[in-house]
Amino acid sequence: MSETDPPSPKTPDPRQGMPDPQLGEAEFRQRFLSAFQDPAFEPLKAELDRVAGAAWDGYSHHRKAPRTRKAGPGYADPDYDLAEDWIAAKAAVDAAQARHEDKDGPPRILLVNGSSRSEHSCPGEMSKSWRMVEMARAAIALEAPEIEVKVLDLSRLTSEYGREIHPCKACFSTAAALCHWPCSCYPNYSLGQVHDWMNEIYPMWVEADGVMIVSPVNWYQATSPLKLMIDRLVCADGGNPDPTLTHGKDAKKAKEEELKGWDYPRHLEGRLFSVITHGDTEGVETLRRMLSDWLSSMKMIPAGAAAEIDRYIGYWEPYATSHDALDADTAMQDEVRDAARVLLDGVRKKRAGQLPEGPKLREPRRK
């Protein structure tokens, strides 16, 4: 380095000092076995004790990813041991990207039901969001049967066994390179953080040409399932596609990589979106703006003004008659169908190269 070269920035050490959440064996066993309260498990007590012992061994030795294999060619460190789960997730994302780029394949639209309500769990009734998703799906099918439409029903988190989205651990806030694409935080077998749905959800977003989100307002905010998915999609916007670059979750090494200059790859850039929010008293406009801003920040493209809707259904009316209010609001139903048609039109034009791409500019302020 010459005397005129600027000094390299010093990589800060990761800040530490929070209380250790590690459990002792007795408390671990109590928590592990608490899932087996059904009397049907009582004859299996000895077997469950043995299973608890095996689980304790994995937990106490921090075996997050017990099955690994060498990364191989194409990675920064081919000899690094990658989790087999992550390798499979990466292959699924890569295959989805290939489908997205295949212009001979059918255009694809993803419809997301953001409500957690379902008649198959405690509420005993379907959500209005589900009904609107079905309206959108029917409108697309009627006008463009060649379009491949998938529905991501986030109410499955509340109604289906073993269906989970674990919280984001905010690796990105330590260093961008520490947030892997797709997410490598889960599954974590030592902590029992399994059944994570995101490895199936990532390819659904990646292959899509257009995405429509339909969501109610829950307590002035996005629903719990929707917010979980949003947080876990952070890796789609600047995430590191090569975990060997950071030797897994080595925070210091990730800081070094970011300070070298990170290019923040936009893994969902260019896909179109539509947003529909609804509520009964307040918050619909705020949530619609939040969702639209989030999608735009990932360099996704708004399909148009008619594809972004915020409406009240049964304003200050009883919850018990909210479905009846939607039945009566035929204008709202037509707006949902029109939003789907606008998204469809945008997808068709994008596939045909009729939407202007704009110049590829390097952002002065990086994420």
**Per-residue 3-state assignment (H helix, E strand, C coil) for the chain:** CCCCCCCCCCCCCCCCCCCCCCCCHHHHHHHHHCCCCCHHHHHHHHHHHHHHHHHHHHHHCCCCCCCEEECCCCCCCCCCEEEHHHHHHHHHHHHHHHHHHCCCCCCEEEEEECCCCCCCCCCCCCCHHHHHHHHHHHHHHHHCCCCEEEEEECCHHHHCCCCECCCCCCHHHHCHHHCECCCCCCCEHHHCECCECHHHHHHHHHHCCEEEEEEECECCECCHHHHHHHHHHHHHECCECCHHHHCCCCHHHHHHHHHHHCCCCECCCCCEEEEEEEECCCCHHHHHHHHHHHHHHCCCEECCHHHEEEEECCCCCCHHHHHHHHHHCHHHHHHHHHHHHHHHHHHHHHHCCCCCCCCCCCCCCCC
Above 70 in pLDDT, residue 2? no
* pTM for this entry: 0.94
**Range 108-118 average pLDDT:** 98
pLDDT tens string 201-230: 999 999 999 999 999 999 999 999 999 999
Angle at 324 between CA 326 and CA 226, to 5 degrees: 50
CB 206, CB 96: distance < 8 Å: yes
User: From CA 253, how far away is CA 270, in angstroms rounded?
Assistant: 31
* 75 Cβ contact partners less than 8 Å away, ≥ 6 residues apart: 82, 242, 244, 245
Report residue 267: phi and psi, to 5°: -75, -15
Instruction: Give the pLDDT of residue 358.
Output: 72
- The proportion of the chain whose per-residue pLDDT surpasses 90, expressed as a percent, equals 94
Tokens of 70: 């060498």
Above 80 in pLDDT, residue 157? yes
**Range 144-153 average pLDDT:** 97
Above 90 in pLDDT, residue 35? yes
Instruction: Give the pLDDT of residue 1.
Output: 43
CB 189, CB 65: distance < 8 Å: yes
CB 247, CB 71: distance < 8 Å: no
The band of 11, judged by pLDDT with boundaries at 50, 70 and 90, is very high
Q: What is the mean pLDDT of the chain?
A: 95
User: From CA 281, how far away is CA 283, in angstroms rounded?
Assistant: 7
Instruction: Give the pLDDT of residue 100.
Output: 97
User: From CA 133, how far away is CA 144, in angstroms rounded?
Assistant: 16
Range from 9-18, 53-62, 63-72, 286-295 carrying the lowest mean pLDDT: 9-18
User: From CA 122, how far away is CA 99, in angstroms rounded?
Assistant: 38
**Range 94-117 average pLDDT:** 97
**Range 71-92 average pLDDT:** 98
* 154 Cβ contact partners less than 8 Å away, ≥ 6 residues apart: 112, 113, 114, 115, 116, 223, 225, 226, 229
**Range 127-150 average pLDDT:** 97
The band of 4, judged by pLDDT with boundaries at 50, 70 and 90, is low
Q: Is the dihedral of CA 57, 60, 65, 71 positive or negative?
A: negative
pLDDT tens string 317-340: 999 999 999 999 999 999 999 999
User: From CA 186, how far away is CA 85, in angstroms rounded?
Assistant: 9
Tokens of 108: 């694809």
CB 343, CB 109: distance < 8 Å: yes
Instruction: Give the pLDDT of residue 342.
Output: 98
